[in-house]
Structure 1
Amino acid sequence: MGDVTFYKGQNGSFARQKGGVDKAKILNDPSFQRVRENLAEFARAAAVSNILKGAFREITLRSKDLRTHNRLYTLAVKVVKSDLVSKRGQREFMLGDHSLMEEFQFNINATWNSTVFAKYLPQNSDTEVGVAFETFIPGVKIAKPTGATDARFFLVACAINPEEKIQPTNLVYSQVIKLDQEPLTGLVFSIPRIIVENAIQVYALGIEYLQEVNGAYYALNDKSHNAAKIILTD
């Protein structure tokens, strides 16, 4: 109202006088050149983070926390700033170090290492990306939330190109795993590589919990225990 802004904070209602630097000055004053460069790169990272949200939808439908999308934006900023070719203010996500995305946890409250204790080896080729698990006892090596009788792993593959509106994404599941004391041997599964011109390939591994009822398997409504992480960028 006028030059006074009214707002609610954690400790009640407040009023403050309108302030800040004039927008025209930020856009034109030479002394704000660094600010303009930062704003340009933040805007570029914001656009990329929206693309990442779409590309990773198959993952976030199964595993995420309340700040996953915010953390994806932070990740996009980090990759943009790792571009060692472009000038400041013109750095690009596609020219950054995409390996910085590896090990990104989609659910910070249920990270992969705090959920799955079974060891696996990457199984990568020119046509597929997969994992081969060492023999393990599911009831010991997989954290078991209340209500879960079984689990299954999943792999997601997506190709990311900020210039394209559609980001190709595929999903495959492992076999259903009974969360009991029987050793599980020979668990290997893979997903075809997504080969798209001028795109970054991203592969993620996750776990989803199930409940068996009369021979049918249902995903738990509470997905807060599901974990997923990026295992490879190419």
Structure 2
Amino acid sequence: MARNNSFIKLEGTLDGLTFYNKDGNNLVKTKNQVSRNRIMNDPAYKRTRENMQEFGGAARCSKALRESFASIVRLVADTYLSARITGKVRSVVPNGAGLRGERNINLVDNLEPFIGFQFNLSKPFDSQFNAPSTGPVIDASRDKVSWSIPDFNTDTYIKKPEGATHCKLALAAGYVSNYEWDPALKSYEPVEDTPNGAGEIVYSDAIALGAMVGTDTDLTLNLTTYGPIPVTTALFAGTAIVFFQMVNGELYELAQGHSMKIATAG
């Protein structure tokens, strides 16, 4: 560490040098580079290795969650979706059993942090659609999800993006297993491979914007094809709205303006 006595006072990093102010003094230091070999073997970096292992597990688990909603994620996700979901998963790791660095990722018993998760922070689902509805409801066997929306006025309860003439409501569901550290593989692995990362989605009929829908909208997902659901696997249910523009009698998805949230889990 050295003092910067130049009349030019810098803050930030330039050519490997970091300029900063501390206690009124202008200081400069070189970038600290620690080799991967040292991080992986030096006892002083034990905590770092533990954090790396658990972060890797959170990343694998969050990937399974994204994959379970893969058919709609491309429409509703913001740039930072992957990082934000990983952060949510990472937040529940301290609740898991096991030694630090190998703690179980127990989603099933830690679902609350995921409820209300927005797939696009700039387009929160409830700001785009807020009509009264029932559900989504997950049945006791966790192989059926339903969402019922009584007839409503689209002008009152939908905030449509510019150019939208129609929309579709969507109900999505995805399964994600708990994850555990596997000493033999030296990685986090799903407790159950099936139906980890699997999911389904159902859309309503196209709804013309600017008036009453004209009928109730009932969406149901039947997930019985996945068989009995393991107790170590969580089911996440999401609600979404996708906007369209009608041109010459054909509906075209808008490039943006869609939104989705995790509404419930079980």
Q: TM-score, normalised by structure 2?
A: 0.73
Shift in Å, 1:23: 4.1
Deviations 1:118-159 (Å, cap 9, x if unpaired)? 121114324421111233201221011111111011111222
Q: 2:53 & 2:13 partners in 1: Cα distance?
A: 35
Shift in Å, 1:35: 2.5
- 1:55-66 paired onto structure 2 within 5 Å: 55-66=68-79
Deviations 1:48-85 (Å, cap 9, x if unpaired)? 223333222223122011111111111121132332x2
For 2:138, the equivalent position in structure 1 comes to: 124
State the 4+ residue runs in structure 1 displaced beyond 6 angstroms.
Answer: none
Q: 2:36 & 2:123 partners in 1: Cα distance?
A: 42
For 1:169, the equivalent position in structure 2 comes to: 199
For 1:86, the equivalent position in structure 2 comes to: 98
Q: 2:68 & 2:94 partners in 1: Cα distance?
A: 21
Shift in Å, 1:199: 2.6
Give the counterpart of 2:243 among 200, 205, 209: 209
Letter in 2 for 1:157: A
Q: 1:183 & 1:154 partners in 2: Cα distance?
A: 15
Distance 1:121 1:12, change over 3 A: same
Shift in Å, 1:94: 3.3
For 1:155, the equivalent position in structure 2 comes to: 171
Q: 1:139 & 1:174 partners in 2: Cα distance?
A: 18
For 1:107, the equivalent position in structure 2 comes to: 120
Give the counterpart of 1:190 among 217, 220, 233: 220
- Checking the alignment, whether the CA contact within 8 Å between 1:63 and 1:227 is kept in structure 2 is yes
Q: TM-score, normalised by structure 1?
A: 0.82
For 2:263, the equivalent position in structure 1 comes to: 231
Give the counterpart of 2:50 among 7, 15, 37: 37
Q: Size of the alignment, in residue pairs? A: 222
Give the counterpart of 2:151 among 129, 135, 138: 135
1:144 aligns with 2:153: no
Q: 1:22 & 1:211 partners in 2: Cα distance?
A: 54
- Checking the alignment, whether the CA contact within 8 Å between 2:65 and 2:175 is kept in structure 1 is no
Letter in 1 for 2:240: G
- Checking the alignment, whether the CA contact within 8 Å between 1:138 and 1:184 is kept in structure 2 is no
- Checking the alignment, whether the CA contact within 8 Å between 1:139 and 1:180 is kept in structure 2 is yes
Letter in 1 for 2:263: I
Shift in Å, 1:12: 8.9
Structure 1 regions of 5+ residues with no counterpart?
1-10
For 1:7, the equivalent position in structure 2 comes to: none
Q: 1:212 & 1:25 partners in 2: Cα distance?
A: 60
- Checking the alignment, whether the CA contact within 8 Å between 1:41 and 1:91 is kept in structure 2 is yes
> Which protein has the larger Cα radius of gyration, Structure 1 or Structure 2?
2
Letter in 1 for 2:92: V
What percent of counterpart residues are identical? Answer: 26
- Checking the alignment, whether the CA contact within 8 Å between 1:112 and 1:228 is kept in structure 2 is yes
Structure 2 regions of 5+ residues with no counterpart?
1-11, 18-29, 178-188
Q: 1:40 & 1:132 partners in 2: Cα distance?
A: 42
Shift in Å, 1:34: 2.6
Letter in 2 for 1:191: L
